[in-house]
Amino acid sequence: MNYVSLYSGCGGADIGFHSKGFNNIGSFDINNSSLEVLKKNLKVPVNKIDLSKSIDIRDYVKSGTVHAVFSGAPCQGFSTAGNRVYSDPRNNLLVRGGELALNLNTEVFISENVMGSLSGRLKEYWNNLNKLFISAGYTTQFINVNCLDIGMAQMRKRVLFFAWKDSSKSIKWPEKQNPRNLSDVLNGVEVAPNNVGYQIDSDDEKVKIAKRIGQAQKLSNVRGGKRAVATWQIPEVFGEVNNDEESILVSLRNLRRRNRLREFGDADPVDLEVLINEHGKGVVCHLENLIQKGYVRYKELNRYDLTRTFNGKYRRLSMAEPCITVDTRFGNPIYFLHPEENRGFTVREAARIQGFPDDFIFNGSLVEMYRMIGNAVPPPLSKIVADIVKNQLLINE
């Protein structure tokens, strides 16, 4: 059985179809580094082509019947990690993948993307894709997946769209599995290939911050509780504060979310009178000191707010828990910290969490390799998809 991979990246989806005995008759992507990694590992035909352009894909796929097309269109315009702009031109590639698949007269089509693509107006892209295949006589189905439920050590939520010609066939998704923990997938990684990452000097500010962050904690000024460490709790990096100043900072953290001024966002600057009621008139002097120290900023109309209002940099993951979503920044300690060492994750550690086998070798700069891994379809997910296509939707082919 033949398959085509659109927006293939380094081949996360291809691994699944390859493992189930499918014959690759064309993988397409615009990124040459990703295609080189895919070609080197799976020995498949690759095509560096901008699929947003007007092309006849049949000029590149000439090997008979196309049984399946997998489309992993870019997610950046849909992702909650980005700006989620409806008009982002990359969003059109979701429907473009379907158009190309229909040009190939495929028996089965699969598209994968982030869950954020189902929200609000963004869902229109999926609706248009669905209409495209229904009008062509296909049966369609959406399936929402959390990779924890397929036995991975990563919370990665994705939506899958299936379209197939034979209306007598149906999809039965496999039963839920227990997730794995980071300790399960990182065991022995120190001797695996590609176990490289960003080097940080021991006297680097990042290391000083990391030393203060425990497992399952993060650097955050805007959340309290045991899982959050505030910048004022790391004086060796951010500067000393006295007890009165710390009390005011904690009040600001609480009040900015409690006393809302707007109907959007999750926090607002705090009025000076509210702070005076909490701490007395002496709060004015303390606020001036905290502004000088870089912990507080003055807003208009006698309102004050915290600085560094990000929620969750330097997230240190836990060996005893599954991982949050692996993204393209996974090697950067500013965003993610190894559970036991004061660094980010190595290329191979990120790849293992994504489900890549150790014999799948990455090449390129560190930035390129982390981008390939973070953008990839997890191979364990693509194996399930390929198995469904082969043994449920194409069973009599």
Structural tokens at position 136: 């062509």
285 is catalytic: no
pLDDT of residue 81: 56
pLDDT of residue 306: 98
Q: How far apart are CA 340 and CA 335, in angstroms?
A: 15
The parts of the chain modelled with pLDDT lower than 50 are none
Active-site choice (75, 147, 285, 323): 75
2-177+378-393 classified as CATH 3.40.50.150: yes
CATH class of 214-311: mainly alpha
3-state SS assignment for residue 217 = coil
Q: How far apart are CA 195 and CA 29, in angstroms?
A: 26
Domain boundaries, the chain: 2-177+378-393, 214-311
What secondary structure letter does DSSP report for 139? E
Element (H, E) at 146: strand 139-146
pLDDT of residue 83: 57
pLDDT of residue 291: 98
